[in-house]
Copies of this chain bind each other. A is one copy, B any other.
Amino acid sequence: MPPLTRRATITDVARAAQVSIQTVSAVFHNKPGISEPTRQRVRQIIERLHFEPNGLASSLRAQRSLTIGVLIPSITNPFFPDFVRGIEDAAHLNRYSIFLCNSDQHQSKETEYLQLLRRHNVAGYIVAYDLNNLEVEKILVQLALRHTPVVTFGSRQAHKRISVLDTDNEEGSFRITSHLIELGHRRIGMIQPPDRGHVNLLRTRGYLRALKKARIATNNEYLIPGGFDIADGTKGIERLMALPIPPTAVVAANDLVAIGAITALKRMGKRVPDDVSIAGYDNIQMSELIDPPITTISQPTYQMGKSAMEAVFHQINDPESSGRVIHFDLPMIVRQSTSPPLVSPRTKKNDPSP
């Protein structure tokens, strides 16, 4: 028997073992009803030929594939490696594999990738998107209507059958802004998340609420449209520092933006946090290593990925189950990059009703 140049199929095994195809299948899947000697013999041949069922054929036949589509802005954004790792680990436990797609938050890429994933017949979708991309929402809703598991992150819940990872962006933004206020800052700027995004809405709301609670007047010049990249931080801080009366503290959209701001400030000869305090968001690894370390809100990134994957499995096992809101608490990590209190923190008074 000449060695095969292609991978062995179940037919090859059956032929070699002088049994029928479905006997091989039964043996491979440890089904009962096969005599021990036959079982032994077939197993040997399977070993020898390195037989494994063709997943394409199995999936086609079974009308379900052991794959999950993961669509994120970019794996090079330090927030996502942990997130994806959480997904992948959970997937692997169930012998699922993941397709990784980087959209760069381009609408066209997002829709293109979703189509590609649909072609692959992925069993579930985990999609991180922020800009209110209606095209994407439309596709996701379609999928949800067909009871395909979908978990989103960073956007509003587009349909009640879609699960969302909820991290209470408003509360996080409120807390970190309040922290700056408690340190004595009154002129607090914000470099915002991407425009027209859901996250931007909530974060800005939290920021404004904190100011309002402290009876600090809002200054629209302190609200700088931004994004999630280092460059947004450098550009944002430049605009803020160019103001006649620049802020003494800045809430950045995330740690990358904070890093961009800090680097730019250093270049300008400003001291951080003595001249300007910078707060971040996400608590990426880098944020405790740079100088100075960043005060930030910690997201349980790995766990969020894991939970997203588990939500997908939940729905795979019970297709009728609705989408769920998976909530995560956000611990605040205080490090050095906000200066010590300019004034002693005020004792908390009871909030007079507005």
Q: Which residues of A contact B (CB under 8 A)?
A: 5-7, 50, 52-57, 59-60, 65, 67, 74-76, 78, 80-82, 84-85, 88-89, 92, 95, 97-102, 115-121, 142, 146-147, 259, 263, 285-286, 289-291
Contacts and interface: CB of A to CB of B under 8 A. Distances in A.
A116 B56 CA distance: 12
Nearest to A87: B100
Contact of A81 (B6, B75, B119, B146): B75
Given A88-B101, A101-B97, A52 B115 contact: yes
Contact of A60 (B52, B54, B259, B290): B54
A53 B115 CA distance: 11
Contacts of A75: 75, 81, 84-85, 88
Nearest to A4: B146
Given A56-B65, A84-B75, A120 B100 contact: no
Name which of A75, A78, A115, A263 has the most chain B CB atoms within 10 A of its CB.
A75
A56 B121 contact: yes
Given A81-B76, A88-B101, A286-B286, A5 B146 contact: yes
Contacts of A98: 99-100
A75 B78 CA distance: 10
Given A97-B116, A290-B290, A102 B88 contact: yes
A50 B84 CA distance: 29
A127 to B, nearest CB: 15
A276 B305 CA distance: 39
A159 to B, nearest CB: 15
Contacts of A59: 56
Contacts of A285: 78, 286
A88 B325 CA distance: 31
A244 to B, nearest CB: 31
Nearest to A77: B81
B52 A119 contact: yes
Contacts of A115: 52
Contact of A99 (B6, B7, B57, B97): B97
B289 A120 contact: no
Contacts of A65: 56
A84 B100 CA distance: 9
A184 B50 CA distance: 57
Name which of A81, A102, A290 has the most chain B CB atoms within 10 A of its CB.
A81
A80 B7 CA distance: 31
A50 B142 contact: yes
Contact of A7 (B117, B118, B290): B118
Contacts of A76: 81-82, 85
A97 B102 CA distance: 11
Nearest to A230: B285
A137 to B, nearest CB: 15
Nearest to A3: B145
A103 to B, nearest CB: 10
Contact of A57 (B5, B60, B286): B60
A296 to B, nearest CB: 15
Contacts of A259: 289
B101 A120 contact: no
A52 B85 contact: no
Contacts of A291: 290-291
